[in-house]
Amino acid sequence: MWMPQDLATNKPIYRAIVDCLARDVAAGNLADGTRLPTVRQLSHSMGINMGTVYRAYSLAQQRGLLIKEVGRGSFVRHRPVHGQGENGEPQENPEGITGGVTGGIHEGARAGVDLTRNEPAFLPLDALLRQSLKDIARDSLLDGMMEYGHSQGLSRHREMLCSWLAASQGFSADPDRLIITGGAQQGLTIALGALSNPGDTLLVEDLSYPGVRNLARFFGLGLKSVTLDDEGLVPDALERACVESGAKVLYCMPHAHNPTTATMSRVRRADVLAVVEKHGLMVIEDDVNTHATREAYQPLAALPSERIVYISSLSKIVAPGLRVGMIVAPERVYAEVYAASQTTSWMAPPLMAELACLWIRNGTLQDIVQRRVVLTEQLLTMARQVMGDVPLRYHQANPHLWLPLPSSRSAWSSREFAEMALARGVSVSPANQFSTDQGNINPGIRMCLRQLPGTQLQDGLQKIVSLYHEAPRPQAFSM
């Protein structure tokens, strides 16, 4: 009977058991189809409770290390090649990335290398979702879940999400000022609806999340670009924009900025906030990306100010389908934000929030985040090795990269570079897709790393490197 040996002491027992199982499978000590001990047998042999073993087996099944057969037991399952499961289902490589980056094979992967989709590293979560829904049905308080509830969200959900914000994003929010949303996009819609009027000017970074341009059109807002550098918003540029435009609302992404990955230093955040206070701005802070474990970062909303409307979400950090977002508003504008939330959607689905809170409470959410971070770090390591001296910008916990292009007149434009890359089978996002000032575009491209079969990702990145070092060629034109 298999017995875990040399368990790591610096992590929970259930995770150490799974790591030991993965190690034994990789070493060839366990053949495909080997029957594993039952939960009762292993808990008795190890002297631990059955709940710990059950959690270990569930995590191992989620990672594709074992398969459970009703009435027969649990059996070792070796990973199929290229990360494909039995029915063509995408699976992760539990041993990480060695040589070719393998894992979830996304739609469209065989039609070329698509590096345009900004989404977290793939993990197979179907088995975990099924089990979690069973746990909710058995253990959670579901009374009233199918009725109209409070638009702000259930108090127990808000309290749990605030605990997550403090632990993960470095922001201790007040549950009474938090409203649960159906993702960050709804949060941004709420914030703009609450803080602006048709004809107003919205200050935005000169490269910004494309969705904010669409929302500006939707609300009838003009845009005023503010210059970015390697640390994000430039305070002097923000000062000039305030004077020139008279704008009263700023949208920005101070952490792991999309697309440039810039993150504001503590000094930069303080300088930006000083301009905000001086000109009476309201700031919509978008904080949807993963914070690294050892990153000493706090959002603007954590600083002493009543002028920050803070937005976050679990979608890019935990799972894209987990549409649970948060908007936290200061008292001075809370009533307007609350009314706008009721206007866009009376309330966020409480069952989705219940799932998120279950995962926070039992440690599953943190486990998912850490596994995604490990996969992302492996992808980034591979990208740095392939791309060599190309001046990449990246954040260590997020999969999108920014490649600035030379700005001389003889160099590539962003659009030309992207078109030439596409002709070679690689899709990237040029700077003009993010620019809020089409007359003054800082050239660059965004690439989003993702698990692809074999060496597809390495080959695609190598094509980008080759193209970067080439001079632009004459293009066909019409008279």
CATH code of the domain containing 3? 1.10.10.10
pLDDT at position 454:
86
Same domain, 125 and 223: no
Same domain, 175 and 282: yes
Same domain, 343 and 470: no
Average pLDDT per consecutive 10 residues, the chain (479 residues; last block may be shorter)? 88 91 88 89 90 89 80 74 35 32 36 86 90 90 82 94 94 96 96 97 96 94 96 96 97 96 96 97 96 86 96 95 96 96 91 95 93 94 95 94 84 90 94 88 93 91 95 72
Residues forming a β-bridge with 73? 69
What's the burial of 245, exposed, middle or buried (CB within 10 Å: 0-12/13-18/19+)?
middle
Q: Which residues, 6+ apart, have CB-to-CB distance to 392 below 8 Å? A: 383, 384, 401, 402, 403
Last residue of a domain, one of 327, 346, 362: 362
Same domain, 106 and 157: no
Last residue of a domain, one of 29, 59, 78: 78
Same domain, 135 and 154: no
CATH number of residue 227's parent domain: 3.40.640.10
Q: Which helix (H) or strand (E) holds 99?
A: none
Domain housing 472? 86-141+363-479
Taking the C-alpha atoms of residue 301 and residue 285, their distance in angstroms, rounded to an integer, is 8
Same domain, 234 and 382: no
pLDDT at position 86:
34
Same domain, 288 and 298: yes
Same domain, 393 and 439: yes
pLDDT at position 477:
65
pLDDT at position 295:
78
Same domain, 212 and 343: yes
Same domain, 158 and 126: no
Same domain, 29 and 157: no
Identify the residue whose tokens are 């034109």: 477
Q: How many domains does the chain have?
A: 3
What's the burial of 134, exposed, middle or buried (CB within 10 Å: 0-12/13-18/19+)?
exposed
**What tokens were used for 246?**
């008279």
Residues forming a β-bridge with 403? 445
Please work out, in degrees rounded to the nearest 5, the angle formed at the alpha carbon of residue 458 by the alpha carbons of 452 and 463.
Answer: 120
Q: Could you give the C-alpha distances from 234 to 246, 265, 280, in angstroms and in order?
A: 18, 12, 17
Same domain, 58 and 119: no
pLDDT at position 475:
67
CATH number of residue 130's parent domain: 3.90.1150.10
Taking the C-alpha atoms of residue 306 and residue 60, their distance in angstroms, rounded to an integer, is 46
Last residue of a domain, one of 52, 78, 104: 78
